[in-house]
Structure 1
Amino acid sequence: MTFPVGDDDLVPPTLFEPPDGGGVPAPDPRGNPIELPPCLAGRFQPREQLPRRGEQTVHRAAEEGRSAELRAAVFRVLCQDGGGERIVKWYHPDAAPDPEVTAVLSRGPLHEGLSYVLEAGADRGAPFHVLPSHGTTDLATRLRDHPGPLPAADIERIVARLHGALAALHTAGVVHRDLKPSNLVVGDLKDPAGSVVLIDFGISAAGPFPCQARRGWAGTPGYASPQAQLMTAMVRPADDWWSLGIVVAEAALGRHPVPHHETASVMDAVHRGDIDLGGIRDPRVRLLCEGLLTWDDKGRWGADEVRRWLRRESPRVVREGPRPRPGGRPDAAPETPRFEHAGLSFGTTAELGEVFDADWPAMIRRLSRSKGREQLADWLAHFRPHQDTGRAEALDDLLGRLRGSRRGPDTATLIDLIGWMAPHQEPGCRGIPLGMGDLTAFARRAAAGDRSCVSVMTELYAHDQHLLRRLALRRGGEELTHVADRWQAHHRQWARATARLSEIPELRENRDDLRAATADGPVLAAELLQLAADPRAVTLALRSGLRTALDALPARVPWFTRLAEEAAEPVPLLLALRLRPLAEAQALQTRRAQEERRQLVAIGRRAEHTRLVRRRLELPVVLGRAAGGALLLFFPHAFLVGLADVYGWAPQSTVLIAWLLSVPSLAALLVVECWTAWYVGPWYHPRFSVMGLLTRRALPLTRRIGRRGWRRYLWAGVGAAALVGTVAGTFFLAVWIWPAGTVLALLVSAVLRARAWRHYQADARSGGPLTPAAGPRGAVPGARRPAEPASSTPAPSPAPFPSPSPSPSPGSRAGGLA
């Protein structure tokens, strides 16, 4: 996994530290300052809030703690009365501008290269400024969009413009204290060098000078002078001229002259004079930078010296104290015996250290032999610095490790060896540069699987970050110590974060994938190193990637969403992003299940709709069949009563009662059978109808009567005796026996058929084996079921609702049932 990293920030943010120090900021009376002050809302129409979204990392993303909360809310607005564009700045009370500076700037423009205040006021207890809009692009954006050094002529025009602006500002008794490219607005895109305007007087101070800063420490470390970086800072005009020197050097080099990003490293480099001016080719521009970047503020160039420089003169540069590095190599070592290596002869440790650093395989081959190690140790002993105790002790330790090694020195010894011989060399290992400018790219290559980078990463990781600390002793590697600290902290945070994953029930079932996603090793170490080397850009990339992952999930995964919402620190963000494949797999399963349920619901709805339509269309036919079945049951009783009435087989009173009972009997038969037909629906006949039941019951009886031999006479006699007994009992014992028995038998049959229909529906919906009601004969329990031949063909899965049976075939002995 690699993280996209944007362009390096050219301008760090302005940091604030109020004098009460250590506490939290005062409550913000502005609330959430994303709108204009209410008193200005009716006069101005907001167009955009600054900095813009794309410029967020350049201006504000690196602010930490209180500094981020104390920044001003800046808006670009349009006057309602047609007065053009304006800038509105609404300050936090703890970061309010100096009232004396506001008063000076409210008098009007002091210089064409200086902004000014059109209106000052307060709303909700927080002050605001209304200022003119001088343009939409600043010098920082210009330098970022057009990489490379600026021409000397353009630099001279910028200096001329800012010289007049600073001279006018200092004459008015104000020191800006925050001169940097992002506070230099380009007024004319066609003439960017000659139209810069100095803005942002939020931390400016009013004289008399020198004076102590009234509101605690404030400034931008990369542009603040050594005196302005002290916690008890003294404000003086010379601070602005130092900042101008840094801006000029940055424009002439195409990069910042201090090659660090960490605040502590930047401030330390400024105090030690570790400012690289070696890449400035124009001698006059270099002279200007050396004069403006003089460590002692009393000898630093000011308005007079810069004016003389603009007149093509060459004022004197004070050479006392720490000075900017003009480039080049350190002084050569004293005369010593020469050392032969790789066909070359070396007389200084710096020369040999450079060759060792450039060709690690040759160095390893030379030092893998005990004779080569002994020769190098004897030669290095001539360079023991007796006056520098620290370097002398480091050399003694190196010589002891070289002579005491049996199989050759390890990587740590080789790094220390090159670092002692050539301390001016930039950090690197096995030919791979590991400086701050190269560390992020190295980590990305290691995470992508580059073999050489993975090998070096394995050594860095195996040595528990000690190699980075050794490389921090090289030139420009001071910040590697902070990276090593963050890297080690990230590993501890990773262990704690992965340990908490066992509390998520959804991840316990997939332990193999979870173990693979959270596996420790060189790839994870590379990702954590990339996060430690450039935490701001990588964190932004992680957050963006996590938002994209959440949006791309086909279904919501609760545990992944919860991890993403709770991930505020970089390491939990990385962990959540590493668990993305598991979340995607679970989301796909959830989506498939949802789709299956949706399809089943849709099929059920269609089937229900089809059933209702079919019921409505076939209900008259079904009810007609039910009525026919009821009449079929009623016909024998009515026929016998009619015969008894015609032939006088029974008394007239009995016949009359029989006719009277036939009416409610017929009604009851119709009601019971029609209800059964309505309940079952289109599948009523022939499986669940009384006609089908009578057919299935009558066929076995007729087959027995139709058999040859004495058995048919027996079955015929039994049937005739049952019929005669029923008729005789009806007309001589109780006339209600036949109608009541018929209704009761039909009612019991209706209940059994309705029950069989419910079982059949349940089996069909569940996809289980069908009950006998779905078999060839089983419409009603109790029907005989012939033996079914074994078949290896599986039965088809039943539909959510049973389909109607095909029409009975003429030759079916079971009444045409499927």
Structure 2
Amino acid sequence: MAQQGQRIVGPDHLVAGRYRLRSKLGGGGMGSVWLARDTLLDREVAIKQVSFPDDLTDEAVKEARSRAMREGRLAARLTHPHAIAMYDVTLEGDDPWLVMEYMPSRSLAQALNATQFLPPALVAQIGAQVADALAQAHAAGIVHRDVKPGNILIADRGPAAGTVKISDFGISHAKGETQPGSSSSIVGTPAFLAPEVARGGDPTEASDVFALGSTLYTATEGQPPFGIDEDTIALLHRVAKAEIMRPARSGALTDALLRMLEPDPSRRPTMAEARDLLAHTATGGSVGIDYVLDTPLRDADGAVPFWARRGAAPESARRLHHSTVSGLPAAPQAEPLQSVRRPGPGLPQPPAFEPKKKAGAGLPLPLIVALVAAGLLVVILAIAVLA
């Protein structure tokens, strides 16, 4: 097979005469990701060596390589503060390499390994920021196709700590673009697929909305909406039938999740509508959407949540459930499946009015009596002096 001839590389290898590999960051079905140094611009980058399944024919590998180059260039169209930037697409021999922004981070999947579930207010904020990036991608005609916890990154150190970004547009494609050799395959991660995609339909903007909803559901509920099953075929059958489990921990986020997980793609919100709904849910509508989108993740004490910090020791899930975003009021904790009223875009509800306390309110009674007596004494003495 063609895959047998794929070049094996290691640290210090120079890719395309410019990118020197330092250490492997990870890998998966689509290839290996390395930390590298851009020797031309003298900066760190993440660089992915795109790989293909072993059972592909030479012709299929050739088509896949061409597609990877095209899709890498496509991803370079997107510039957004909550999306990992694509810097360059290059060939090393016959292998495509995607050069991306490097952000020291841990994925949402890794965060979920540190605790059972995350607080709905913070999950709503994560979702709003990712949805904002995906809404821009959709406006540019780009469908991500693999939104999942492993592709949502949270900066875990330095000044950017708490910053959220969606990554891996490596299998994204332009709307309406024909995918060579894809007619009999399902692209994406089964646990987060939309039902129509599991049934063999083409990924669309609506399926990205469903995948984001599945990802956020997993973050609050502790497992995907279709459960966990090592039998991929059985899981795909459940996904295809849209058999989601009812949320039990999502509180005020429940309404947004159920709308994003609507089985009928035509009835789901657009990604922009999902962003507004999630932003409103993050705070109960007490601040503007822009503030939710621009604020890094923070706990109630103003620190980056422990599950998003590098090397931090886990804490109990019970304490997590009551955490909020610093400076962002906590969303009201509704009972499961209780509806959340959705405001118009950009029109969050004003903060609750609290009347000012009257002067002296809250003072001890003996102190008030003493102050009044002292005042009377001053008046009497003043009268006596004038007399």
| Same fold, judged at TM 0.5 (above) | yes
Alpha-carbon distance between aligned partners in 1 of 2:144 and 2:220, rounded to the nearest angstrom: 23
Relative to structure 1, the CA distance from residue 28 to residue 152 in structure 2 (aligned partners, 3 Å threshold; closer, same or farther) is same
Relative to structure 1, the CA distance from residue 168 to residue 298 in structure 2 (aligned partners, 3 Å threshold; closer, same or farther) is same
Q: Which runs of 5+ in 1 are unaligned?
A: 1-24, 52-58, 61-67, 314-818
3-state SS in 2 of match to 1:239: helix
Q: How does 1:310-325 map to 2 (within 5 A)?
A: 310=278, 312=280
Relative to structure 1, the CA distance from residue 36 to residue 204 in structure 2 (aligned partners, 3 Å threshold; closer, same or farther) is farther
Mapped pair 1:101 → 2:71: yes
Alignment partner, residue 177 of structure 1: 145
AA partner of residue 43 (structure 1): R
Length-normalised TM-score, structure 1: 0.30
3-state SS in 1 of match to 2:195: coil
AA partner of residue 215 (structure 2): V
Alignment partner, residue 207 of structure 1: 175
Q: CA RMSD in A?
A: 2.8
Q: 1:228 pairs with 183, 188, 197, which one?
A: 197
Alpha-carbon distance between aligned partners in 2 of 1:140 and 1:228, rounded to the nearest angstrom: 22
Q: 2:130 pairs with 162, 176, 186, which one?
A: 162
Length-normalised TM-score, structure 2: 0.62
1:305-344 per-residue CA deviation (whole Å, 9 max, x = no partner) reads 314414648xxxxxxxxxxxxxxxxxxxxxxxxxxxxxxx
Mapped pair 1:74 → 2:33: yes
Q: Which runs of 5+ in 2 are unaligned?
A: 53-60, 282-387
Q: 1:275 pairs with 230, 244, 267, which one?
A: 244
Relative to structure 1, the CA distance from residue 291 to residue 193 in structure 2 (aligned partners, 3 Å threshold; closer, same or farther) is farther
Relative to structure 1, the CA distance from residue 27 to residue 99 in structure 2 (aligned partners, 3 Å threshold; closer, same or farther) is closer
Relative to structure 1, the CA distance from residue 276 to residue 45 in structure 2 (aligned partners, 3 Å threshold; closer, same or farther) is same
Matched-pair contact (CA < 8 Å) for 2:50–2:95: yes
Alpha-carbon distance between aligned partners in 2 of 1:194 and 1:131, rounded to the nearest angstrom: 19
AA partner of residue 51 (structure 2): H
Matched-pair contact (CA < 8 Å) for 1:205–1:235: no
Task: Give how far 1:160 is off.
Answer: 1.5
Alignment partner, residue 88 of structure 1: 47
Alpha-carbon distance between aligned partners in 1 of 2:150 and 2:161, rounded to the nearest angstrom: 14
Greater strand proportion = 2
Alpha-carbon distance between aligned partners in 1 of 2:254 and 2:145, rounded to the nearest angstrom: 23
Identity across matched positions, percent = 24
1:121-144 per-residue CA deviation (whole Å, 9 max, x = no partner) reads 112211111111022311111110
Runs of 4+ in structure 1 deviating by more than 6 angstroms, as ranges, are: 190-193
Matched-pair contact (CA < 8 Å) for 1:98–1:204: no
Greater helix proportion = 1
3-state SS in 1 of match to 2:267: coil
Alpha-carbon distance between aligned partners in 1 of 2:238 and 2:50, rounded to the nearest angstrom: 32
Relative to structure 1, the CA distance from residue 273 to residue 189 in structure 2 (aligned partners, 3 Å threshold; closer, same or farther) is farther
Q: Larger C-alpha radius of gyration, 1 or 2?
A: 1
Alpha-carbon distance between aligned partners in 1 of 2:240 and 2:199, rounded to the nearest angstrom: 10
Alpha-carbon distance between aligned partners in 1 of 2:250 and 2:48, rounded to the nearest angstrom: 40
Mapped pair 1:30 → 2:6: yes
Task: Give how far 1:212 is off.
Answer: 5.6
Alignment partner, residue 21 of structure 2: 46
Task: Give how far 1:154 is off.
Answer: 0.5
Task: Give how far 1:285 is off.
Answer: 1.0
Alpha-carbon distance between aligned partners in 2 of 1:191 and 1:161, rounded to the nearest angstrom: 18
3-state SS in 2 of match to 1:48: strand
Relative to structure 1, the CA distance from residue 250 to residue 189 in structure 2 (aligned partners, 3 Å threshold; closer, same or farther) is farther
Q: 1:240 pairs with 208, 211, 218, which one?
A: 208
Matched-pair contact (CA < 8 Å) for 2:112–2:222: yes
Alignment partner, residue 119 of structure 1: 88
Task: Give how far 1:241 is off.
Answer: 0.5
Task: Give how far 1:113 is off.
Answer: 0.9
Relative to structure 1, the CA distance from residue 81 to residue 153 in structure 2 (aligned partners, 3 Å threshold; closer, same or farther) is same
Task: Give how far 1:251 is off.
Answer: 0.8
3-state SS in 1 of match to 2:100: strand
AA partner of residue 110 (structure 2): T
Q: How does 1:739-818 map to 2 (within 5 A)?
A: none
Alpha-carbon distance between aligned partners in 1 of 2:128 and 2:161, rounded to the nearest angstrom: 10
Alpha-carbon distance between aligned partners in 2 of 1:280 and 1:309, rounded to the nearest angstrom: 18
Relative to structure 1, the CA distance from residue 206 to residue 29 in structure 2 (aligned partners, 3 Å threshold; closer, same or farther) is farther
Matched-pair contact (CA < 8 Å) for 1:134–1:197: no
Matched-pair contact (CA < 8 Å) for 2:74–2:173: no
Relative to structure 1, the CA distance from residue 48 to residue 203 in structure 2 (aligned partners, 3 Å threshold; closer, same or farther) is same
1:59-95 per-residue CA deviation (whole Å, 9 max, x = no partner) reads 74xxxxxxx5xx3122111334673321111223634
Relative to structure 1, the CA distance from residue 304 to residue 73 in structure 2 (aligned partners, 3 Å threshold; closer, same or farther) is closer
Matched-pair contact (CA < 8 Å) for 2:68–2:170: yes
Relative to structure 1, the CA distance from residue 150 to residue 26 in structure 2 (aligned partners, 3 Å threshold; closer, same or farther) is same
Alpha-carbon distance between aligned partners in 1 of 2:228 and 2:188, rounded to the nearest angstrom: 17
3-state SS in 2 of match to 1:285: helix
Alpha-carbon distance between aligned partners in 2 of 1:164 and 1:274, rounded to the nearest angstrom: 28
Matched-pair contact (CA < 8 Å) for 1:212–1:234: no
3-state SS in 1 of match to 2:254: helix
Mapped pair 1:139 → 2:108: yes
Task: Give how far 1:229 is off.
Answer: 2.0
Alpha-carbon distance between aligned partners in 1 of 2:138 and 2:250, rounded to the nearest angstrom: 31
Alignment partner, residue 461 of structure 1: none
Relative to structure 1, the CA distance from residue 308 to residue 85 in structure 2 (aligned partners, 3 Å threshold; closer, same or farther) is closer
Task: Give how far 1:38 is off.
Answer: 4.9
Alpha-carbon distance between aligned partners in 1 of 2:218 and 2:102, rounded to the nearest angstrom: 25
Matched-pair contact (CA < 8 Å) for 2:69–2:96: no
AA partner of residue 243 (structure 1): A
Alignment partner, residue 254 of structure 1: 222
1:96-139 per-residue CA deviation (whole Å, 9 max, x = no partner) reads 454443233334x5211112221111122111111110223111
Alignment partner, residue 317 of structure 2: none
AA partner of residue 89 (structure 1): K
AA partner of residue 76 (structure 1): L
3-state SS in 2 of match to 1:103: helix
Matched-pair contact (CA < 8 Å) for 1:224–1:243: yes
